[in-house]
Amino acid sequence: MNVDFHSSALAESITALRERNPLVQCLTNHVVMNFTANVLYAVGASPAMCDNPEEAAGFATQVASGVLVNNGTPSSEQIQGMYLASAAAVAAGKPWVLDPVAAGGLPWRTAEVKKMMDANPATILRGNASEILGFLGGTSGRGVEATDSTTDAVDAAHELARRYHCVVAVSGPVDMITDGDELVKLSNGSAMLTQVTGVGCALGAVMAGYAAVTSPLNAAIAATSHMNIAAENAASVARGPGSFAVELLDALARLSAEQAADRVKIS
Amino acid sequence: MNVDFHSSALAESITALRERNPLVQCLTNHVVMNFTANVLYAVGASPAMCDNPEEAAGFATQVASGVLVNNGTPSSEQIQGMYLASAAAVAAGKPWVLDPVAAGGLPWRTAEVKKMMDANPATILRGNASEILGFLGGTSGRGVEATDSTTDAVDAAHELARRYHCVVAVSGPVDMITDGDELVKLSNGSAMLTQVTGVGCALGAVMAGYAAVTSPLNAAIAATSHMNIAAENAASVARGPGSFAVELLDALARLSAEQAADRVKIS
Amino acid sequence: MNVDFHSSALAESITALRERNPLVQCLTNHVVMNFTANVLYAVGASPAMCDNPEEAAGFATQVASGVLVNNGTPSSEQIQGMYLASAAAVAAGKPWVLDPVAAGGLPWRTAEVKKMMDANPATILRGNASEILGFLGGTSGRGVEATDSTTDAVDAAHELARRYHCVVAVSGPVDMITDGDELVKLSNGSAMLTQVTGVGCALGAVMAGYAAVTSPLNAAIAATSHMNIAAENAASVARGPGSFAVELLDALARLSAEQAADRVKIS
């Protein structure tokens, strides 16, 4: 583990994101579409929520810089769009991120996202510990909330990373990120992050943005660190979950590459 | 009417909600999904917006603590999910809340929610005066907004409560809640509540959360009081509807059981 | 160009909107539904997101004061609802606004909104420069973001306004509004407006509200000015994009007719 290397890559990634302003195509759940779009603008990327079967593939091929698939509120039409967009992204050599919401806990959606991943492996697979364990084949807790610790999910993350030749990012109090070889642990963040809906979902979109400007491993680290260090700043001034969400958007936009590199807790 | 009993039950309900953190499955409209999820976190519950026909029943049976059905933006798929989830909730002995948005004003959706209610009566039926009157068979004003007073709706609320053996909660400047026998009037709140979209919708979700930890009557009272007393706190510092919504989430999270019991205006 | 006339009409329009509180039926994208509803409340109108094929026409005919169609996240069901609502609005003599999101860039949706417009021309066609050029037949940039200047779109706006006998509003750093005869340029606003998702989408809904209380040309001018002058006020106190969105809602609600008439930069 070369901590200086990762800190330096983090600063470079943040600068690159803001300079290149990647357009992230989000096929995501209805709960978080608005927040995800605003988070993407705040970090320095741009959103486009193009998720219908008529347009999803063409948009991924011709317009998007990266693609996010998050199956939090899947409809039959949107699931079709997700297959088409993920296949088009792989064919076009563009990164795509899979956030398999409630994998393991809900059989139908778990089967659908596994089929997507088997057909066209994602660049980054992102979830909480229960979702990563659930994706591999265990069963998990209560819907979208993690009931397992990230440490429990490390073996599953390694196995999935090697199987799909992808990066796996497990979010939690300590974030675990692996490419199947190296394991990076990130320890920034705030307990407030779990009191606002959609932060994890938005994080997946931010990873897709970073993956358009740097390597998949750097992208997962940069997105996680950008979100978690901004969350520390936001939590220091928030008076509750409502003001935290507002301050988080402001903090995402204000975080400098230098502050991120100074503050990142990596091991 | 035993006011002390209700105040004491309110404090106990708030404490119980935060200790037990019920998971509320929300089949709700697209306008308010994000706000509803954040309100549930703020009060001390958790959200899961599982509303597709493939998963809605299984989630209600196996995972949810309570279910909210709100037909504000119904699609054909979501309506199917609502039937399945409400039936599964009743079969599993779990509470479900029906918020019949624009009942009376729009015939198609009114017929659909009546069929749900006839097949598997909700634990709590919640709406504004126009919706409660419209659900019973009158016709009402302009979509989602109340054009009748809560007093006008008291008879309709009693009749519906007795017909369905449920609690009926009519929201307005004075909130009227009845189990068909007792009538509870609550007078907290703020005019700002009508200037932010989705507060009433979120209130239905909060009732589903409280109904998982206390009786249906206590649940309707506790949810209404939690929202309305927090709204008074938020309105005292807000500078307009944008800051009011933010302050409301903060105030929902900060309201103590003791403050709620002290401040509730019940008769 | 009679600047005094337009300033005076602006003040009268704002007063009329708040007195008459028009109900705007929004068939709009899932990203911005919540923000749009809150913007409508803040300016003094009311929202109803009735967009399903079963109810869209009846609501437009019987309940709505004006209709917004915004195809940002079209599903097959919603597209049907849009045809029905726009046809019903024209038949009932009610104004409707078309916001052809990503027109030109995405062939399927472009064809659908052109068919709507050909069958039942909108009262106001609103978009950014790339969308207006794309609607006329050019191809445009990257999805929802303008990559052309409003000046480039002036000829296209004139042509469309004359073809459809409608008002065309091109948003950008300078907003261009034409009825095919007169060209009005508005220069208020803030760069922050592009850092929050859905402001342009909400602007379309506000135009539908104003079109229910004044002429189409006045409506486009009043909606644009109300939004952009409020944005200046919000930007003066915001600390980033999160607080800007909150302050914008507060500022929309607080802007007086007199302040708007004093501050509008029109030519």
Whether residue C73 and residue A51 make contact (CB cut-off 8 A), yes or no, is yes
Q: Compute the nearest-CA separation of C163 from chain B (Å).
A: 34
Residue with tokens 């003066």, as numbered in its chain: C236
Q: Which residues in chain B touch residue C54, judged by CB atoms under 8 angstroms apart?
A: 108-109
CB C86 within 8 A of CB C51: no
Q: Which residues in chain B touch residue A240, judged by CB atoms under 8 angstroms apart?
A: 42, 249-254
Q: Which residues in chain A touch residue C144, judged by CB atoms under 8 angstroms apart?
A: 48
Q: In which element (H, E) is residue C186 found? A: strand C183-186
Q: Compute the nearest-CA separation of B189 from chain C (Å).
A: 18
Whether residue C37 and residue B198 make contact (CB cut-off 8 A), yes or no, is yes
A41-98 pLDDT, tens digit each: 999 999 999 999 999 999 999 999 999 999 999 998 999 999 999 999 999 999 999 9
C75 touches chain A (CB under 8 A): yes
Whether residue B108 and residue C250 make contact (CB cut-off 8 A), yes or no, is no
Q: What is the CATH number of the domain that holds C192?
A: 3.40.1190.20
Looking at residue A3, its pLDDT comes to: 77
Q: Which residues in chain A touch residue C142, judged by CB atoms under 8 angstroms apart?
A: 23, 46, 48, 63
A107-119 and A76-91 are packed helices; what angle lies between their axes, rounded to 10 degrees? 20
- Nearest Cα residue in chain C from B140: C63
Q: How many domains does chain B have?
A: 1
Mapping DSSP to helix (H, G, I), strand (E, B) and coil, where does residue C87 land?
helix
Q: In which element (H, E) is residue C230 found? A: helix C216-235
Query: What CA–CA distance (Å, rounded) separates A165 from A163?
Result: 6
CB C189 within 8 A of CB C231: yes
pLDDT at A142 over 70: no
A partners (3+ CB pairs within 8 A) are B, C
| Domain of residue A143, residue span | 3-263
Whether residue C63 and residue B34 make contact (CB cut-off 8 A), yes or no, is no
Looking at residue C149, its pLDDT comes to: 78
Looking at residue B149, its pLDDT comes to: 78
Chain C 235-254, residues with CB within 8 Å of chain A CB atoms? 239-243, 245-246
Cβ-count burial of C76 within 10 angstroms (0-12 exposed, 13-18 middle, 19+ buried)? exposed
Query: What CA–CA distance (Å, rounded) separates C43 from B266?
Result: 34
Looking at residue C139, its pLDDT comes to: 53
Whether residue A42 and residue C240 make contact (CB cut-off 8 A), yes or no, is yes
Report residue A8 as tokens: 């330096």
Report if pTM > 0.90: yes
C242 → closest Cβ in A34, A47, A246: A246
Q: What separation in angstroms does the CA of B254 have from each of B44, B46, B189, B257, B266?
A: 10, 16, 16, 10, 21
Q: Which residues in chain A touch residue B249, judged by CB atoms under 8 angstroms apart?
A: 240-243, 245
pLDDT category of residue A139 using cuts at 50, 70 and 90: low
pLDDT tens, chain B, 267 aa long: 577 888 999 999 999 999 999 999 999 999 999 999 999 999 999 999 999 999 999 999 999 999 999 999 999 899 999 999 999 999 999 999 999 999 999 999 999 999 999 999 999 999 999 999 999 985 545 555 666 777 889 999 999 999 999 999 999 999 999 999 999 999 999 999 999 999 999 999 999 999 999 999 999 999 999 999 999 999 999 999 999 999 999 999 999 999 999 999 999
Chain A 123-142, residues with CB within 8 Å of chain C CB atoms? none
